[in-house]
Amino acid sequence: MLKFTLETGRGTKLLQNSDSPIALLISPSNPTESPQWDEILMIMGTLIVPINHLGRNSSNNLQIIIPPFSQYMVINSGKINLILSFESDPTNHEILYDPYLFEKENHKNYDPEEFKAQHTVPDGYIDILPKWYSIKFTYPDYNYIFISPGVGISLQMHAMREEHWEILQGQPIIIAGSKISYNTKLHSQFDIPLGAFHTVINPSNSEWVLIKESCRGKFDEEDIVRIFNPNHYFTE
């Protein structure tokens, strides 16, 4: 059995199971504490849901069976650290996304002029928001969001605006509400209602993802509730 600690605020890698089911037992790292299971999220295949929707709760533990070939990831958005115990070694499972791939590197925001010299960016933008893992060009009616290889934006939700996404480049993994889309196609479109989970993950190790984002409602950069934010380890 393989065990490791999943600290609060952190997630596992997004993996794809092999051809056999595997049991996962989740328990608090401190046996005197009780997890709020509905605060812990799990990706299972094409769904992301509170983890207690997927497993059997016994005392202070929760057991989940991961089906063959299913994608899976645990996000500890609760308040206590967890112990994850796999009945067999998952290290041979395919890694679709490692949220901490660049955690130990120095991070610097992209320089917009250097970026434009290497990528096609239409004229007419009125604002630019560069980060170390993405860069957003704001136009009067929409945004162009470029996401660098191997990273994802935070899993988030909004209370005051809906969003509509169109994929203009790359094959991102899209979370929209409780549904997850893998191997997305060019010009695929997604609607993000008020209060719905959403994120974009770029699983490529070389190609940038480009999303065209339009919003309806009140746009406010402060209107972001981040459920899982692996990119917060920012340094100039």
- Which residues are 55's β-sheet partners? none
Domain 112-228 has CATH 3.40.50.2300: no
The candidate with the shortest Cα–Cα distance to 206, out of 148, 146, 130, is 148
What Rg do the C-alpha atoms of the chain give, in angstroms?
19
pLDDT of res. 235: 39
Mention every residue, 6+ apart, whose C-beta is less than 8 A from residue 221: none
Mean pLDDT value across residues 106-134: 96
* Residue ranges covered by each domain of the chain: 2-97, 112-228
CATH topology (fold) of 2-97: Jelly Rolls (2.60.120)
Instruction: Say what the pTM is.
Output: 0.93
- Read out DSSP for 146-184? EE-TT-BPPEEE-SSEEEEEEEEES--EEEETTEEE-SP
Mean pLDDT value across residues 6-26: 96
236 has a pLDDT exceeding 50:
no
- The H-assigned helical ranges of 59-194 are 112-118
pLDDT of res. 233: 55
1 has a pLDDT exceeding 90:
no
Q: Is the dihedral of CA 195, 179, 191, 133 positive or negative?
A: positive
- Higher pLDDT: 231 or 206? It is 206
